Amino acid sequence: MDTEHAAPDDLAALRAAFDVDDGGASALGWETVHAFEAEHGIVLREPYRTFVAEITDGSYSGPPDYGLESLAELPDDWGDDRPERDLSRPFPLTKMWLWEEDPRPCEEIDPILDQVFDHGSIVLGTDGCAMNWHLIVTGPHRGHVWNISGEGAAPFGAEFGFTTGAPGFAGWVEHWAANKPWFDAA
């Protein structure tokens, strides 16, 4: 997964998957992407970075079930009572975590949960019922896509054992475009 350079094949696949034919009118442009990055103290990973700058910023025609959110937006079911999100702080996880099954007391789990939901990621969109897809923008899993729900969090990509899809934004979209279930590993 090359997250520093946008591969032409990845960009072509993203254009096809989202069926965007507006000549970039729905894209943010590089100036806006650079301003977003400066405001949040991050640099987005490729190919997502080029995708929002040149192809489109959000779409109803792509993954997840309720469409891809715009770069600076959150799903409607996000809620208004969350702490302020800090994209520059590292996303804390590197492996699946089911907090509903974690035996530690809430006093230990809750501070980590706030970090999982609100640090180091942008929300790509939702499959409903607060099952949100996040693109990690800081921390050891930068460039990976994670599914974060009310019960737990899991990384997307064959190397993690839950799916046959390639990791990263392009792999996540390619998996969806092939009409495969998200969690299709045997």
How high is the mean pLDDT of the chain? 91
Q: What is the pLDDT of residue 146?
A: 97
- Distance (Å, whole) CA 42 – CA 161: 29
CB 86 within 8 A of CB 73: no
Rounded to whole angstroms, the Cα distance separating 52 from 158 reads 25
pTM above 0.85, yes or no: yes
Name the pLDDT band for 45 (thresholds 50, 70, 90).
very high
Q: Residue 152, exposed/middle/buried by CB under 10 A (0-12, 13-18, 19+)? A: middle
pLDDT tens for 89-148 read 999 999 999 998 999 999 999 999 999 999 999 999 988 888 899 999 999 999 999 999
pLDDT in tens, 19-35: 777 777 889 999 999 99
> Which residues lie across from 121 on neighbouring strands?
136
Query: Which of the residue ranges 13-17, 34-38, 80-84, 157-161 would you say has the lowest mean pLDDT?
Result: 80-84
